[in-house]
Structure 1
Amino acid sequence: MTDYASPQPVAARPGRARNWLSLSAKTWFAVTAIGQWFFVVYILGFYVPRVSANGPKGLEGTHLPNGYIEGDTIGNIAIVMHILVAAFIIAAGQLQLIPAIRQRMPKLHRWSGRFYMGASVLVVVAGLYLSWAREAAIGTNLQSLGTSTGGVLVLIFVPLALYAAIKRDFAAHRRWALRLFMVVSAVWYFRLIIFGWLMTTGGAFMDTKTFTGPFLLVASYAQFALPLLVLQLYFWAEKPKNKAHKTWVAGVIFACTGMMAIGVFAVTMGFWIPRVFT
């Protein structure tokens, strides 16, 4: 009995580790999907009616800093495109991450992927223009540099993901596409970080009026650096030689997902829903 039973815990441990890692990834996706669709509802419910009724001038009086500037036609068009196209990018990004769509509807996966990449580049170019062509109404240049760095990474990851797909190196394509998803989602992550921090600390180390402070400086870089770091840990834990580390990496992903859930709740209930329905 001892000889028969003794191998079982050793054999079961890697399987359990794989299950925890897979479950952590699925939990992350579920929270991400819910949170990003709330963001889409906010964009469609708050911005679209205003822009549809008044054009770019509809952004006047919203919370956006420099949202509408009289006479700045290029800038006004850029900010409308930057905001409204984001809703479609989020939807396309969700389609890219669903395995059933990749497997059963490959054409939809390819075309939504092409749109995702192309639209992401357009939105980033518009965002970079807005960050540096207009005088900053809030924040500092270092904060703008952090946000812009995330945008530049989008411009790097798009061709790398596309090249891997063209070469039919689907393993590499998956890795670059997921990295692209993380940096494209940086503006969403930024909102989770800020509102989660406000809810749990009351806004320590930040000035909400000028939108400056040590925490906001860190957040402007963490919005893309932290998701990329956790994703890289996930890639590392996936490798068979690192199976002993799968469980603690899964724990890291669960912990980060929990913090994301706090941010989703805070920004949805405290900002997005009130602005759409009141």
Structure 2
Amino acid sequence: MENTRSHDSSSAIKITDSNNVTKVSPAKIADRALKYSSVFWFISILLGQWFFFYYIFAFYGFSVINDNMEIWNRWEAMGAKPYHVGDFSGNLAFAAHAIGAGIVAFGGILQLIPKLRSTFPRFHKINGYVYLITVFCLAISGFYLVWVRDPDPINSSGIGTTINGFLILLFAYFTVRNAINKDIKTHRKWALRLFVVSNAQWTLRVGTFSYLITGNLLGTKPAFGDLFFSLWTFGCYLLPLAVLQLYFYATEKHSQAIWHSYWNIATSTLLFVLTILMVIGMVGFTPFLLSVINNEEISF
């Protein structure tokens, strides 16, 4: 039996026997597993992000247009009171933050589509500018809401949001710098990191619902006082960043093909499991947001 390494884009190893029958090697299986798990993640997050975009503009967008921002306080039942009477700057910052999150949810995922980048490079560039400006405003408005508007910013939520904001600004800087330097490969890595941290608040909410649903299914009786919620304030962007780094490593070439295959299988399995958990959270989060839009009672 003869082993030959093919030099196609997937860097797969094909095994050809004496009868010239090509068999799929473990490396090929590992590469396919990583590819399909990535596609599964992309489709899932696209659906979730675009529904989130719909919710933001259906609830926050129209409330601003109709000068009915008092309805934001429907969240008071959950311990939040976004609208403050007479606080023009604070209400403006919150509106900008919420609507900015919607723009990021819709436009960010488009930047990740290779076919769109290659076919419509001008759109990719313009959309990228809009995205960068929006995430910058998102970070600054987040700082304002935590450190100026919030009377008690020194808590896990405030600190987590602040770190998230600094990461957004840092990753945006490296994304732009590498684009200017024409280092497209590195630019795309930083753009993916920026995408992850820019959508942390969506991940926070989806993860919360996933924890509550899976916990109830497993009979662990989850509650809002659980340690998970303090940790998830930071985990909503640190965990995706860690998984993304594993993905980067899996897509790089390595001298020892067998270990590379094992790594790809492990990474694709982890990505698949986390995507399933994300989908579970989306399934719970979607009807909840619909109840908010439809002015129904907010409850879990």
Please say whether Structure 1 and Structure 2 have the same fold, judged by a TM-score greater than 0.5.
Answer: yes
1:66–1:132 distance in 2 versus 1, CA, 3 Å: farther
Deviation of 1:62 (Å): 4.0
Q: Which residue of 1 aligns with 2:265?
A: 247
- Separation in 2, partners of 1:162, 1:83: 24
Given that 2:97 and 2:142 are in contact with CA atoms closer than 8 Å, whether structure 1 keeps it comes out as: yes
Structure 2: 5+ residue stretches without partners: 3-15
Deviation of 1:68 (Å): 1.2
Deviation of 1:86 (Å): 1.6
Which of 103, 109, 123 matches 2:124? 109
Identity %: 31
Deviation of 1:94 (Å): 1.5
Matched, 1:273 2:290: yes
| Counterpart code for 1:101 | L
What SS is found at the alignment partner of 2:66?
helix
Q: Which residue of 1 aligns with 2:181?
A: 167
What SS is found at the alignment partner of 1:240?
coil
Which of 177, 191, 196 matches 2:205? 191
| Counterpart code for 2:190 | W
Q: Which residue of 1 aligns with 2:33?
A: 20
Given that 2:212 and 2:223 are in contact with CA atoms closer than 8 Å, whether structure 1 keeps it comes out as: no
TM-score of the aligned structures, taking structure 1 as reference length: 0.90
Q: Which residue of 2 aligns with 1:262?
A: 280
Structure 1: 5+ residue stretches without partners: none
Aligned length: 271
| Counterpart code for 1:248 | A
Matched, 1:32 2:45: yes
Compute the RMSD of aligned alpha carbons.
2.3
1:55–1:125 distance in 2 versus 1, CA, 3 Å: farther
Greater per-residue helix proportion:
1
| Counterpart code for 1:70 | V
- Separation in 2, partners of 1:9, 1:228: 38
Q: Which residue of 2 aligns with 1:135?
A: 150
| Counterpart code for 2:191 | A
- Separation in 1, partners of 2:58, 2:161: 25
Given that 2:142 and 2:161 are in contact with CA atoms closer than 8 Å, whether structure 1 keeps it comes out as: no
Matched, 1:90 2:105: yes
**Structure 1 runs, 4 residues or longer, greater than 6 Å off:** 6-11
- Separation in 2, partners of 1:66, 1:126: 16
* Larger Rg belongs to: 2
1:246–1:172 distance in 2 versus 1, CA, 3 Å: same
- Separation in 2, partners of 1:204, 1:149: 30
Deviation of 1:57 (Å): 4.2
Structure with bigger RCO (C-alpha 8 Å, 6+ apart): 1
- Separation in 2, partners of 1:52, 1:65: 22
What SS is found at the alignment partner of 2:80?
coil
TM-score of the aligned structures, taking structure 2 as reference length: 0.83
Q: Which residue of 1 aligns with 2:11?
A: none
- Separation in 2, partners of 1:11, 1:42: 45
- Separation in 1, partners of 2:21, 2:80: 61
| Counterpart code for 2:184 | F
